[in-house]
Chains A and B, each alone.
Chain A
């Protein structure tokens, strides 16, 4: 189908005097400039006639053209240009998003609060990418780690345990406080470590399994965690209130640097009291994502990363080359869990609560979709997939629904079909681009050529 469309184009262009050969003969930059120019022109026309025009659309187009057209990777340090520009755009987002034009169908640019959620889900998706993308283990219970992280924040940065009284660098304490209040920065780290430990505990019995079996068991754990959260208001009938049941734990402290830092370093004392609350959370989330990306890149090119990829490619051969399967897989699991836990704790702080209803199975699938849509194993792809799907979930679909309602004069509740739409996106991805939108080269080859990983083992020897 793809081929036929492009042939049609070439027939039309050929009539205009531009043959395939002449096009190929042009310098690469020129070809990129023309292609980008055409797409941007189409976008600008769409915005002008069907969206809400603002002159900033021209600036936006200029920035995109500047980033896309030159072959930056050929310059020294050129590979940093696009990521750094993207980072800059993300950091400055709260200052310019209000003056952006409105795109047709999708409407205005996302709110800063949506951006925060997008960043948090990016972090979770990158965490899952360690497990699914690098080590090739299908994990359908990733929400368990998110829940664990969120409840860690609930336990150590709220008044949940009212009989205790412990303050360790927490901000925003009020008169007559009780419970554990540990600085949220520390809680993030604690959540990550505790979740990694849970990951190891879940991993030890399950990672001996392969493929489908592993998926089913992780699915089970993904269901167990929220059930514990839901029924944890009287743990094992002892009356010990661990999770506050369906009411969840709320409020949870915000992060902050304390009064001293506010006076001397102009750092916010407490995010929850700050006027630019969302922006602060966004910038912090960006830092967390950066840390995750950094760890992803470093690990990918390490001894451990190679071992993960080897296991994904051929478990039997990997074991024969001396890679301890259980230990290596467990490291992937623990690493993924760590980042899931940190993201969960941070999200709980942002929402100021941990509620069992937030941890349904569909979140696991949602995060998995982000990884698959973007490109399994490719960091940039996963970031894109996470941002796009999280945006659709929080804002995009509602905007699309509003646009349809306005233009078709009929009420269509698009967000209600959310998971149907995500399912359709997934099916389309799998049919036309199974390696994801921005795949890693290796993964693209695997999807098209396949891997051979038929087991050769006694099941009992698969362990380490």
Chain B
């Protein structure tokens, strides 16, 4: 009886009695969610255009962030370092297309998936060789990102908002909006969607697969860079960040592997779920549920809507 009370009633009583804490938790969940969305977005871009689940998206985040800090540490001014990192991501996209995708064209998807594993470990090794294995501090100050926080007096208490989190939310929204316009309204966006639907039909109207792949990997690289900056500004930039790639999985299951809005909504649901779960139900399970709650949410979701919130319904003809 007491356990049932603790699970079903007590958390809601707490939410009611300390609304400021509840709002604070919501805000933190939202910010984490936005970052998850960004990571998931990188996956969706590549998955849409080439049907490859890019395991290397996580390491691309780390690689981009490390490169940015690395350039800066070598005396390159912050904004120039940002530009150089963008160029580096373009080079990476071209290299991936030339050396991995092109030779493996028409191979089963699992082969391409394994190839992205290879890419991941190559980037880890290569990154450590160049940048060293030590955690680094993101140059958020030099990039003009705000620090400090706002304290809002409300609901009989305080809600604290880090300025960097607000910036992250704004940048993420802008990024998502421009990607949306890009996909829906431009010739290249249309070509991207076409490639996602049918390779041979895309080829027959003269869309070059090679060019499209470079573009999506580059776009995913830019998204990775943005994620790296935002995530790095909250903690450190280290190779440990690489496992956040795994956090994108539940987000993708929720949102659908091919849907940009899905990635956003899925990320936010997972972020909110994690924070609220951790704060209100965590003590029951001895805390630490943040690490696995996302997967449980995804699992439950899989039972009811295997195609994800916004994914296309899978109807197969038998």
Question: Is A bound to B?
Answer: no
